[in-house]
Amino acid sequence: MEARRLDFPALDQDVNGNRLVYLDNAATTQKPRAVIGEIRRFYERDNSNVHRGVHELSNRATLGYEGARKRAAEFLNATSAEEIIFTRGTTESINLVASAWGARHLRRGDRILLTEMEHHSNLIPWQLLAARAGARLDFVPVTGDEGLLDLGRIDELLDGTRLFAFTHISNALGTVNPVGELCRRAKAAGAVTLVDAAQSAGHAPLNVREIGCDFLALSAHKMAGPTGMGLLYGRRELLEAMDPYQGGGEMISSVDFGGSTWAAVPHKFEAGTPDISGAFGLRAAMDYLDGIGRDRILEHDRALGAYAYARLAEIPGIRLLGPAEGRAGLVSFVLGDVHAHDVVMLADRVGIALRGGHHCTQPLHRKLGVESTTRASFYLYNTAEEIDRLADVLREIKRYFSR
């Protein structure tokens, strides 16, 4: 697996006089040459607008764009390519559901269920929808520092819930939620489900039919693909019963001055010229990841997460958040009295890229009684040696502030 580092040109550099140790992968991963090259190749050879073009280049662009959709359906084991809608990323995918599904299906007094560990992108779209529709938000509680969902009252919470949206892997805690079980329980209660797969796509095999979700959202840039690109998976019957998301070109069947009819799914949801190069890049990323094997990436990710948790736990006075066992490849922590902003700045001085703050999970941080945490997050190219280096540097940082 470590030989794969060579596929990522951005990793091959020094930062502040030290070899770059890139541990900010939950924010965005680096991109392999296969992805960068495919985007370049698209612009150098196939660049043209998609759909309805008759000339050769438009034909190639359309075939590549729709081919990426088919590839994404296969990547997620969706029933058909029509169940894949290309978006700008997880955030837009969730907003699409909140807007297009919510407008049609949510009524005053209805309930939406979320969890306390959601990223703001899986919270604020529902707050906006709830305010518009007069609906109510409920939250599955998080147990505390160990960061697990407290499922003790889940059936009670699901009773009467119209939609249950939850993250697969917590970007702040590293918790891996039992998505299949949550979907089964939600389905039994008659609730529609949405899985935020931003942190799991590209880190683990994902099979939407096995999970049993109605919607699933992901971002290309967190799985070795380009920024500004992502997708929404939606079960076909649900997509067909939804209103369009945005109006414009590409999404119509017939337009008159008085009114219009919509294209069939998925194009009904893709107004305007899409991110064509992004779709080419996403396909290259999926091919790259499957070339390695997502089961192998999962194994590597979990091994690094467990190792980092164990190594960091040895540091006196550190407070680790999230589960001790079965965590994903990221660790969030509070380094004694040293503030996250200072930890990140000092680590950067020796070439280690970390992230500090509330990681877009401010309510969760408030609940845990911390304003900010430092996060190290891993991907397929990270190594145990890099985690050893992190542990050494964190001890030095602590020493620096205790003098």
Partner 1 sequence: MFEDLDELYQEVIREHSTHPRNFRALPSPARAVDGHNPLCGDQVRLYVAMDGDRVADVGFTGQGCAISRASASMMTEAIKGKSREEIRRAFDSFHEMVTTGRSDAKGLGKLTVFSGVHKYPVRVKCAMLAWHAAIAAMEGGVAEVSTEQAEEAPSPKGGEA
Q: Are strands 318-321 and 330-335 parallel, antiparallel or unpaired?
A: antiparallel
Task: Choose one: 96-104, 262-270, 331-339, 382-390; the region binding partner 1 (CB under 8 A).
Answer: 331-339
Task: Choose one: 4-12, 48-56, 162-170, 348-356; the region binding partner 1 (CB under 8 A).
Answer: 348-356
Is 120 one of the binding residues for partner 1 (CB under 8 A)? no
Assess whether 360 carries a catalytic annotation. yes
Q: Which residues pair with 254 in a beta bridge?
A: 261
Q: Are strands 215-219 and 192-196 parallel, antiparallel or unpaired?
A: parallel
Contact between 200 and 25 under an 8 Å Cβ cutoff? The reply is no
Count CA atoms within 13 Å of residue 164 on its CB side: 29
Contact between 47 and 57 under an 8 Å Cβ cutoff? The reply is yes
- CA–CA dist 22, 2 (Å, integer): 14
Task: Choose one: 55-63, 226-234, 250-258, 341-349; the region binding partner 1 (CB under 8 A).
Answer: 341-349
Task: Choose one: 72-80, 110-118, 137-145, 332-340; the region binding partner 1 (CB under 8 A).
Answer: 332-340
- Residue of 135, 140, 205, 190 whose CA lies nearest to 167: 140
User: Please, which residue, 29 or 332, has the CB nearer to partner 1?
Assistant: 332
C-alpha angle 374-377-378 in degrees, rounded to nearest 5: 155
Catalytic-labelled residue, pool 179, 352, 360, 390: 360
Is 70 one of the binding residues for partner 1 (CB under 8 A)? no
Single out the residue of 338, 360, 368, 394 in contact with partner 1 (rule: CB under 8 A): 338
- CA–CA dist 72, 382 (Å, integer): 26
Minimum gap (Å) between residue 294 Cβ and partner 1: 35
C-alpha angle 149-155-158 in degrees, rounded to nearest 5: 90
Q: Are strands 230-234 and 252-255 parallel, antiparallel or unpaired?
A: unpaired
Tell me the residue ranges of DSSP E strands in 141-283.
161-167, 192-196, 215-219, 230-234, 252-255, 260-262
Site string for partner 1, 288-327 (x = CB under 8 A): ----------------------------------------
Is 349 one of the binding residues for partner 1 (CB under 8 A)? yes
**Binding-residue total with partner 1 (CB under 8 A):** 22
Is 21 one of the binding residues for partner 1 (CB under 8 A)? no
Single out the residue of 357, 363, 367, 383 in contact with partner 1 (rule: CB under 8 A): 357
Is 43 one of the binding residues for partner 1 (CB under 8 A)? no
- CA–CA dist 312, 300 (Å, integer): 18
Q: Are strands 373-377 and 355-357 parallel, antiparallel or unpaired?
A: antiparallel
Is 341 one of the binding residues for partner 1 (CB under 8 A)? yes
Is 132 one of the binding residues for partner 1 (CB under 8 A)? no
Is 339 one of the binding residues for partner 1 (CB under 8 A)? yes
Single out the residue of 5, 184, 187, 358 in contact with partner 1 (rule: CB under 8 A): 358
Is 388 one of the binding residues for partner 1 (CB under 8 A)? no
User: Cβ–Cβ contacts within 10 Å for residue 203, how many?
Assistant: 30
Task: Choose one: 119-127, 268-276, 300-308, 344-352; the region binding partner 1 (CB under 8 A).
Answer: 344-352
Is 401 one of the binding residues for partner 1 (CB under 8 A)? yes
Minimum gap (Å) between residue 345 Cβ and partner 1: 8
Is 340 one of the binding residues for partner 1 (CB under 8 A)? yes
Is 19 one of the binding residues for partner 1 (CB under 8 A)? no
For residue 22, what is the DSSP state?
E
Single out the residue of 79, 80, 273, 402 in contact with partner 1 (rule: CB under 8 A): 402
- Residue of 176, 155, 152, 173 whose CA lies nearest to 164: 155
Contact between 23 and 393 under an 8 Å Cβ cutoff? The reply is no
Q: Which residues pair with 318 in a beta bridge?
A: 335
Site residues (vs partner 1, CB under 8 A)? 337-342, 345-346, 349-350, 356-358, 371-372, 393, 396-397, 400-403
Active-site residues, by number, are 360
